[in-house]
Structure 1
Amino acid sequence: YEGGDADKKYRGALRNIQNHINAVGAENMDIKVVLHGNGLGVLKNAKSNDKLKGQVVSLKSQNVKFNVCNNTLKGRKINYEQDLLEVFPEDIVPSGVAELSHLQQMGYTYIKP
């Protein structure tokens, strides 16, 4: 999945992911959400929005991985430890766009809600 770029889209995208899990079962899939550009806003806004935070935390508890673009972090001077919800060094990828391409080459399906 690619992260949306506005609060309403964030919540909609997270609902789509949860619906996907509900239909197939978390144990039957490997979901990665690649966040780049304005998509990082989902984890930034989740720090202060309890509903959004709850959605993100719930998805993470179901083994959904959120990958964050290092190019966006650097370009926008975002401190992932302070500015984003629950991002760790292993969540950061060099380039969000390159990661999307890499995952597709590995057989992942690209879904943009």
Structure 2
Amino acid sequence: MKRKVGRRGGIAALAAMGAVTPAAAQVSGPREKVVYHLNQPGGEEFAFYRQFLVNVANHLTVLTPGQFDFRVVMHGPGVNLLRIAAKHDPQVAARIDELKLAGVRFEICRITLRNSNIRIEELYDAGEDDLVPSGVGQLGRLQWDGFAYIKI
């Protein structure tokens, strides 16, 4: 049976053969690129959003500070995390604040806002720089750029 050599094993083998140096094997920029996809409603008492934010926070605990690019892309009912839940539940708002301070970017679909007649001012702690032209388009672009896609 043939044994597969993973990325790490392959780089180590190449380095041992002198084909690549350890410095050349290191990746520049963020070590982990992650995008969470949020397009669901929050549920009763925002239970889904609360658990979603817990999952994001838990994921951060295993990343090296400053060595990641972490995004939450929201479209459709997912924008209600910022439109309704964060405005009505101080714990949800506090968790979002903590995640943002830790480096998580919350990106909002401009098409959803336009089609649902939602003004940016209706969203918790959101500005023009948080908008992306299309949530689904952004997910595709980020995956193309090497982001791990996570849907809960």
Aligned residue in 2 for 1:80:
120
Runs of 4+ in 1 over 4 A off after TM superposition: none
TM-score, scaled to structure 1: 0.94
Shift of 1:4: 5.0
Q: What amino acid maps onto 1:13 in structure 2?
A: F
Size of the aligned set, in residue pairs, is 112
- Paired with 1:12 and 1:49, the residues of 2 have a C-alpha distance of 14
Query: Which is richer in strand?
Result: 2
Gaps of 5+ in 2: 1-35
Q: Which residue of 1 aligns with 2:7?
A: none
Name the SS of the counterpart of 2:146 in structure 1: coil
Q: Decide which moves more: 1-10 or 58-67.
A: 1-10
Counting only pairs closer than 5 Å after superposition, residues 18-97 of structure 1 correspond to structure 2 as 18-44=57-83, 45-81=85-121, 83-97=122-136
Q: CA 1:13/1:30 → structure 2, altered by over 3 Å: closer, same or farther?
A: same
| Larger CA Rg, structure 1 vs 2 | 2
The one of the two structures with greater contact order (alpha-carbon pairs below 8 A, sep at least 6) is 1
TM-score by length of 2: 0.71
In 2: Cα distance, 1:61 partner to 1:93 partner:
20
Structure 1 regions of 5+ residues with no counterpart? none
Counting aligned pairs with the same residue, the percent is 35
- Indicate the RMSD between aligned Cα atoms, in angstroms: 1.1
